[in-house]
């Protein structure tokens, strides 16, 4: 604001100086033009040589000068004198007569000057003058017409006006600076709010948010700052979740391994082999837990899924072929979607395979597991249905939480995972902007459906109107 006020001050000073110079130059130009015009009017009057009232020629130069000067109206600062051949000075009261009289040295200097126009210094400043000799019939000089203009009187008026303008400008500048101080405080208050909020934020508390008002640049800054805080909160939350989950889940296998190693008998090879097997199993389980936790941590990143146009028939067929290696089950393909979709084929395959692996754990050899896909106008569906014991209603939401395995019986008692499978499936679906649905009746199996929203395409809309899938 200080720099802007300084710039405004320089602009006002520049305008004042330029305006004064223009007005002074205009006053001097008008004075010169007035002198030239008065001199020309006297010449024309003298050339006519006839008294318009009597119609008779003027008798001499004195009568000519008196008649012409008597007819003139003098402006402020204007001086008009006539000098006859015998030295008589003819004047007109008013104007600037007090500056130039027959007794002044300046007047005598004008009369003696060989030029017809010039400038002479007086007590009131420079005086611009012009004179016209009066020549009689015989070529004899009968007097001199003198007209002068006190330019400094106009200059003083300009200076007075400039002082008034400077005073008004100074008052306006002070008022503008005060108003700018108040307005800038209001404008920059959101910035101060951002600064104070940033000072209060720490890695332990990222809940601080800035209130957003309006739609200007400051509001946009506040929105961006809040968005940054959201991303930081999610990042720190994911980090804390990872540390909590890792410490919680890895504590048990570490305890098991340590307990077995502490009590192993050195002289019993069979016992050592059994301890090594148990430790290896626990280490493998720890490895799986760590990989799953890292995958969940990566699911918060924007590059977790890489979308591309995928041919749904090829993707469905590839997934079905991979599922056959999961176990001795009756793998059935319900339907295959047509067309293309914007998906990450690797993540979709990972999610469907995880659902199928859960179905294998909860069914027995020879049971039926169905896979299918469908393409609608606004979404793509993949589902896995099994013929196992199903999921109880009270476990419908719990099984999607971390490290939850539900409480169903039957074949679902054969569980070897860490309880992160469905959590990973949910993360993959949400990264696509979709979700996971569960339909189950206890004792009649369960169906897990992945729904991936898709932008509507013109060709899909036409096919839907025509009644074709």
Dump pLDDT digits (tens) for 93-112: 554 455 555 556 777 777 77
Q: Model confidence over 163-172: pLDDT tens digits? A: 998 999 999 9
Average pLDDT over residues 307-321: 92
How many Cα atoms occupy the beta-carbon half-sphere of 438 within 13 Å?
21
The pLDDT of residue 361 is above 50: yes
**Confidence (pLDDT) at 124:** 67
**Token pair for 105:** 């040295």
For residue 384, pLDDT over 90 is answered with yes
Written as six digits, the tokens of 64 are 């000519």
> Is the pTM of the predicted complex or chain greater than 0.85?
no
**pLDDT beyond 50 at 449:** yes
Which residue from 55, 119, 42, 48 is spatially nearest to 81, judged by alpha carbons?
42
Confidence (pLDDT) at 301: 73
Over residues 286-311, the mean pLDDT reads 78
Percentage of the chain lying above the pLDDT 70 cut: 83
Q: 150: which residues sit within 8 A by CB, 6+ positions away?
A: 77, 78, 79, 96, 99, 122, 124, 125, 127
b (16+ CB within 10 A) / e for 210-225: beeeeeeebeeebeeb
Order of all β-strands in the sheet with 117-122: 89-91, 78-84, 141-150, 125-135, 117-122
pLDDT value at residue 312: 93
Across 393-422, average pLDDT: 58
Pairing mode, strands 435-440 and 446-453: antiparallel
pLDDT at 96: 47
The model's confidence at residue 185, banded by pLDDT at 50, 70 and 90, is: confident
The mean predicted confidence, pLDDT, of the chain is 79
Asked if the model's pLDDT at residue 362 lies above 60, the reply is: yes
In terms of Cα–Cα distance, which of 38, 36, 40, 57 is closest to 48?
Answer: 57
Tell me the C-alpha distance between 448 and 438, whole Å. 5
Query: What pLDDT score does 467 carry?
Result: 44
> What dihedral do alpha carbons 314, 320, 325, 331 form, nearest 10°?
-160
pLDDT at residue 198, rounded to an integer = 74
Average pLDDT over residues 156-161: 84
pLDDT for the residue 411: 39
Query: For residue 417, is pLDDT > 60?
Result: no
The pLDDT of residue 50 is 74
Checking if the pLDDT of 359 tops 80, the result is: yes
- Looking at residue 26, its pLDDT comes to 85
Whether the predicted pLDDT of 451 surpasses 90:
yes
What is the pLDDT, as a whole number, of residue 67?
81
- Rounded mean pLDDT, 72-82: 77
For the chain, give the number of residues.
469
Tell me the pLDDT tens digit for each residue of 8-22: 899 999 998 999 899
Per-residue model confidence (pLDDT) at position 405: 54
Band (pLDDT 50/70/90 cuts) for residue 316 is very high
């Amino acid at each position: 604001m200080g720099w802007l006020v300084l710039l405004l001050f320089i602009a006002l000073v520049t305008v004042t100086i330029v305006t004064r110079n223009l007005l002074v130059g205009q006053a001097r130009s008008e004075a010169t033009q007035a002198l030239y015009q008065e001199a020309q009017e006297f010449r024309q009057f003298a050339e006519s040589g006839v008294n318009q009232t009597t119609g008779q020629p003027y008798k001499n130069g004195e009568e000519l000068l008196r008649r012409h000067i008597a007819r003139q109206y003098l402006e402020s600062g204007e001086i008009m004198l006539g000098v006859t051949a015998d030295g008589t000075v003819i004047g007109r009261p008013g104007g600037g007569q007090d500056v130039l009289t027959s007794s002044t040295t300046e007047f005598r200097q004008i009369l003696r000057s060989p030029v017809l126009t010039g400038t002479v210094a007086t007590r009131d400043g420079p005086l611009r003058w012009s004179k016209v000799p009066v020549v009689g019939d015989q070529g004899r000089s009968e007097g001199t017409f003198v007209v002068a203009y006190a330019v400094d009187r106009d200059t003083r008026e300009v200076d007075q006006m400039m002082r008034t303008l400077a005073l008004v400008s100074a008052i306006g500048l002070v008022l503008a600076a005060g108003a700018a101080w108040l307005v800038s405080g209001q404008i920059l208050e959101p910035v101060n709010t951002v600064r104070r909020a940033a000072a209060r934020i720490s890695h332990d508390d990222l809940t601080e948010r800035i209130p957003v008002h309006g739609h200007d640049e400051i509001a946009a800054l506040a929105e961006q700052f809040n968005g940054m805080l959201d991303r930081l909160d999610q990042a720190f939350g994911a980090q804390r979740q990872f540390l909590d989950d890792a410490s919680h889940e890895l504590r048990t296998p570490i305890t098991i391994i340590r307990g077995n190693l502490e009590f192993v008998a050195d002289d019993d090879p069979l016992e050592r082999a059994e301890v090594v097997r148990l430790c290896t199993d626990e280490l493998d389980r720890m490895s799986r837990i760590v990989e799953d936790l890292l995958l969940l941590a990566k699911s918060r990143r924007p590059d977790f899924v890489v979308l591309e146009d995928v041919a749904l028939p090829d993707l469905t067929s590839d997934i079905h072929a991979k599922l056959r290696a999961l176990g001795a089950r009756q793998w059935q393909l319900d339907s295959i979607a047509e067309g293309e979709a914007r998906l990450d084929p690797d993540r979709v395959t990972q999610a469907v395979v995880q659902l199928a692996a859960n179905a294998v754990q909860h069914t027995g050899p020879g049971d039926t597991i169905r896979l299918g896909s469908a393409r609608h106008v606004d979404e793509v569906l993949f589902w896995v249905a099994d013929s196992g014991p199903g999921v109880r209603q009270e476990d419908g939401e719990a099984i999607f939480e971390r490290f939850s395995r539900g409480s169903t019986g039957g074949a679902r008692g054969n569980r070897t995972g860490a309880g992160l499978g469905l959590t990973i499936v949910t993360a993959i679906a949400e990264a696509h902007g979709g979700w996971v649905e569960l339909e189950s009746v206890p004792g009649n199996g369960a169906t897990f459906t992945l729904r991936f929203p898709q932008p509507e395409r013109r060709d899909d809309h036409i096919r839907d109107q025509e009644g074709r899938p």
